[in-house]
Structure 1
């Protein structure tokens, strides 16, 4: 079974929510792994951490 390789990400051409997700991944030191192996390479704990931070930032904007 071959791994499906994700397309290169154009940071200038993504939604603000996706941009925030990439920024948080970078802050947590996970961006290199996401860019090379995709979001599926992260553990449930790591993705949960990203989701929690996104949620927190959304609530702080209001």
Structure 2
């Protein structure tokens, strides 16, 4: 494991990052992200995560 690749502590992450990891888990991508990092996902997969994050943020603002 290089310096850049550090183990992710899911209990100690920023709220926005937590949302990103929750969505990755819902889409069945969390294991791959934890194993190989975000770079292992395709553009389509990361775009899907970003789209869902924006949708949830907008929904939260409307409440």
Q: Deviations over 1:5-50 (max 9, x none)?
A: 6211111211000000000000000000000000000000000000
TM-score by length of 2: 0.88
Matched, 1:54 2:53: yes
Q: Between Structure 1 and Structure 2, how many residues are aligned?
A: 60
Deviating runs (4+, > 3 A) in structure 1?
none
Q: Give unpaired runs (5+ residues) of structure 2.
A: none
Match of 2:23? Answer: 24
What CA RMSD, in Å, does the superposition of the two structures yield over aligned residues? 1.4
Match of 1:14? Answer: 13
Q: Give unpaired runs (5+ residues) of structure 1.
A: none
